[in-house]
Structure 1
């Protein structure tokens, strides 16, 4: 997933995870428990470190092997109604309960299939809701049924679903619905073992209005009739966060025989043109890391309210329209989400404590794709931008969040992870290994890693074991165990990190310096050739504030205010707010009302709330924008505004 660099500031502190494993058996009153052996203590410690603290599920006792969904999409009530049937693998012969994660679900009925094929009612209990984890759903299964079915209804405010009125879509005629299950939002629309450590196959039968095309992270047929009745199958095992659904006025445009674009009719051709290199990206990645194992790779372009850049739902990447700028300068997002087909979807982190196994690997692979297709200059520029953002973020976040592998209890809410750590530091670490060993060694190692752990969910400890056996031991003297562990378990960036230089950014730096020191604007012959990355670097390197007349001069020359390029707007508007450039207020409000992608809008909200007049603009704008925001985005903005409003009161105390 392409996320926000500000996710660490998302929401206020949330309650810690509740118990995720079965309680130990109580010893008899007159017995003395045997002393644990050193080996047992080590194993217990490792098991605790690898446990997913953000799920109530008990996969060591019973696991979901297959999921069958029956769902009805109701735009009027903004709900999904139906059932989830689980085929179960009972791992513990004494277990007779199934524990599921849920959030704001109305559980109507639970039944289990007896050995004779008859379905009988099962007792269940839905615990009080935890703010972070939702409600623990405990089902008594005395006969250890092979299949259990839960009938339920979602809430109109489900955190993992967004319902859009027609006015909030591109076409303005048909309502739209889409899901966002990562990190732990799948439980808001399906009761599940909502942990990446559990993988399952799934099928789905979905009904809805005949004017709405329904798609899922499964075998979507580009030629499917729009008739309100749809069936899906996902034969490869996936974790819950990769469950996805969307419904709306969607049409298909092919890119190749195995890739294409779904979007609203007015957007589909533009998107297909922007993403025309998708097949080349697939071929490039296959040459490096082995075959694409998911049959089709399609892209669904969502309305601008989608809270992320992209989401790597297998077979159907969800993408923001904000990357469609007409010059392919932002299609590294597609490279990133495609790369997840190897790093994340194929080999998956087993809990959010190990998020870098998904995002760090994917960011590294993304950069290799960009280099192969668009040149090393482009990939170097994107590396520099990411590392500049990391440097800024690491100045403010807890050092404990700067480790790639987090200790249990560090991450209260998985949405609070540091993007700079899991994306940029993770990729930087892999580049460190690549440079130490050389691509002739590292590329086959990475391909072997994807093959070895294919369709598995693993913790960081498994990667460390594999790297020590297949890199360090086979090629001694290149990287020490101490260096490996400093990267993975230590805060900050080690001094051994390889530097990336960008001659094109050097030219941008020189142009910016000439302007800030002498007032000489860069020559138009130079800036006419600048890419989005160069403009981003030009703005990011500006002083913390500028004079209003300086901003006016830049605006007159380059028309930053009102830019349709979200990456430029993300940098320009916070600078304008800090500098008191009120001429941009109207454009800022329009931008914040149109776009729901957190990465692009949260920096501006963050600056607005620092002054009374800015806070008022933020509140007024948010009131208008909120109906079109995803619940995840809404929570982010509400947290920033609430914190700003409480700050004077806290100071007074």
Structure 2
């Protein structure tokens, strides 16, 4: 066996899946999906074919042509990271039909009961498949090396509606034929409806996504709707304002990187439990409500997910060991879009915040330098545990270093050629480096490419941004160390980003009286901008300001974004006092069920490490 991916059972000598037809019955009473998955391979195959699964119960596997059973086994002892291997014995088939059911604990799915939603009357479910969680929704070759087209029918309660990372076809009554292989008596019940979708462009499985709930939308552009729960009228209206400039960003992206290949760029604002800031699912980007800040700066997250339409979705890392190819390029592309749409100062602030974050990650991984590399070894490693800003910010720095060497005009031409050459393909770091050297001859003599891609730490020729506003903020942060607080005139024009950069450049801990005085003047603990609020609360915890424990608890019980959970739970768990450690355990015990399964695992690993 020759693995293609350290996180998948897929064998590189086997044909890859090219198409999946899904029939899914969503049972909200049991938090289970009863499904069938018709997998089409790139060529007929004889022998044992490996598929990935996690917490999936297989009913049977059939030859779709004859409907005769195919022999299969499911590993009895699932791997803690990869899950259970399904091995199907094929005799020249190029298609196989898997009948199965998911588990209520499926790691990609969060089922919300009515009390957990805005409406309080209808349930909700959504997916998060990155990096290795699609296998908990349907058996598949769950690796970015396999790009699939798919179609899907979702059988859902008629009071709800569905969205997918796919083109919507129609909404219609269910027909019995669709459930002939499924043991679902209520498939054609009067209170059920079927929604059909099709994805015609090949995507990696981690970009498979859907959400089902009582959904409404606002039109914000010719290619963009903003969706959220229809009962969340304020969220919908605020999102429509925050993301009103989306079409302009798409146009700028096309100028910089080439045609937009995905037709639609719709946005879904999810419940607060969504574990990421955004997820770049093609045609239907998922967003946390915390990106709605009221000053349009939240649109920078949208710019990042939009940039993935070229770097990540069009060209994809072949596996998670090359994740920087997705995120480093996308962070660069995002900042180019922001520079055009919101100005160079705003882009520079982004770079500055990223620079601070990158340095913090070097401290986080000081005892495991492997994960300060762009190209790293993740054999036996859960990608959720080592998720960090390194592929984003060190990757960005590498891309920027190339641009700085050759000039923006030359680099822009290179970037367009790179995207055109590898679109709808999955590649590794060596492929990129070879392409770079072939198209910019002699670049390896000017930049140490091996040090950048395989070396640990931050290279000496990385770039800390320089600008008037950036230098001023760092100067004010330095003044705080000497006991000087910024005055109102100095911060009068600041938005959340300026405050975030300021707070992130203060000492890890300060005199409690200083921290309290800063908050008393500027009300940072009450900020509606969660980047500001969490940066301040992290400082308050490390500075032993116990009067903020209530606000920390309130924050951790109101959002599930892992960026915030990781920061605050780590700060509590690393605090020297038993009180903070006990508070962390208490909050997690009480809030655990409101977090997405991926976030639950991340917090559990933090607490087990430090407590």
Q: TM-score range by the shorter chain?
A: over 0.9
Corresponding position: 1:156 with 2:112: no
**Deviation, structure 1 residue 97:** 2.5
Determine the C-alpha separation between the residues in 1 that align with 2:546 and 2:254: 50
- Which of 492, 502, 510 is the equivalent residue of 1:528? 492
Instruction: Give aligned pairs, total.
Output: 586
Change (3 A) 1:322 1:223: farther
Corresponding position: 1:176 with 2:124: yes
**Deviation, structure 1 residue 507:** 2.1
Change (3 A) 1:545 1:53: closer
The equivalent of 2:423 in structure 1 is: 454
**Cα deviation digits, residues 310-359 of structure 1 (max 9, x gap):** 11111111111101010012321101111111001101111111111101
Determine the C-alpha separation between the residues in 1 that align with 2:257 and 2:447: 28
**Cα deviation digits, residues 200-221 of structure 1 (max 9, x gap):** 1100000111122111110137
- SS of residue paired to 1:155: coil
Corresponding position: 1:318 with 2:286: yes
Alignment of 1:8-19 (within 5 A): none
For the Cα contact (< 8 Å) 1:569–1:600, is it kept in 2? no
The equivalent of 1:468 in structure 2 is: 437
For the Cα contact (< 8 Å) 2:317–2:326, is it kept in 1? yes
The equivalent of 1:354 in structure 2 is: 322
**Deviation, structure 1 residue 118:** 2.4
Determine the C-alpha separation between the residues in 2 that align with 1:589 and 1:640: 17
The equivalent of 1:493 in structure 2 is: 458
Q: Which has the higher contact order (CA 8 A, sep 6+)?
A: 1
**Cα deviation digits, residues 384-442 of structure 1 (max 9, x gap):** 11111111211331222222112463x62222345232110111111111111111110
For the Cα contact (< 8 Å) 2:352–2:465, is it kept in 1? yes
Alignment of 1:187-586 (within 5 A): 187-220=135-168, 228-265=193-230, 266=233, 267-397=235-365, 398-407=368-377, 409=379, 412-471=381-440, 473=441, 476=442, 479-480=444-445, 483-519=448-484, 521-586=485-550
TM-score (norm 2): 0.92
For the Cα contact (< 8 Å) 2:312–2:330, is it kept in 1? yes
Change (3 A) 1:154 1:444: same
The equivalent of 2:610 in structure 1 is: 644
Q: Bigger shift: 565-574 or 488-497?
A: 488-497
For the Cα contact (< 8 Å) 1:390–1:420, is it kept in 2? yes
Provide the aligned C-alpha RMSD in A.
1.9
**Deviation, structure 1 residue 125:** 0.2
Segments of 5+ residues of structure 2 without an aligned counterpart are: 174-190
**Cα deviation digits, residues 529-579 of structure 1 (max 9, x gap):** 101111012212222322332222112111122322110122111111112
**Deviation, structure 1 residue 170:** 2.9
- SS of residue paired to 2:59: strand
Determine the C-alpha separation between the residues in 2 that align with 1:224 and 1:447: 42
**Deviation, structure 1 residue 90:** 2.7
For the Cα contact (< 8 Å) 2:172–2:193, is it kept in 1? no
**Cα deviation digits, residues 29-55 of structure 1 (max 9, x gap):** xxxxxxxxxxxxxxxxxxxxxx31211
TM-score (norm 1): 0.87
Q: Bigger shift: 523-532 or 219-228?
A: 219-228
Corresponding position: 1:107 with 2:53: no
- SS of residue paired to 1:69: strand
- SS of residue paired to 1:62: coil
Determine the C-alpha separation between the residues in 1 that align with 2:447 and 2:412: 23
Determine the C-alpha separation between the residues in 2 that align with 1:345 and 1:518: 48
The equivalent of 1:136 in structure 2 is: 85
- SS of residue paired to 2:461: coil
**Deviation, structure 1 residue 508:** 2.3
For the Cα contact (< 8 Å) 1:62–1:89, is it kept in 2? yes
For the Cα contact (< 8 Å) 1:384–1:502, is it kept in 2? no
Determine the C-alpha separation between the residues in 2 that align with 1:392 and 1:551: 21
**Deviation, structure 1 residue 96:** 2.3
Change (3 A) 1:513 1:489: closer
Determine the C-alpha separation between the residues in 2 that align with 1:513 and 1:222: 59
Determine the C-alpha separation between the residues in 1 that align with 2:370 and 2:517: 43
Segments of 5+ residues of structure 1 without an aligned counterpart are: 1-18, 22-50, 646-653
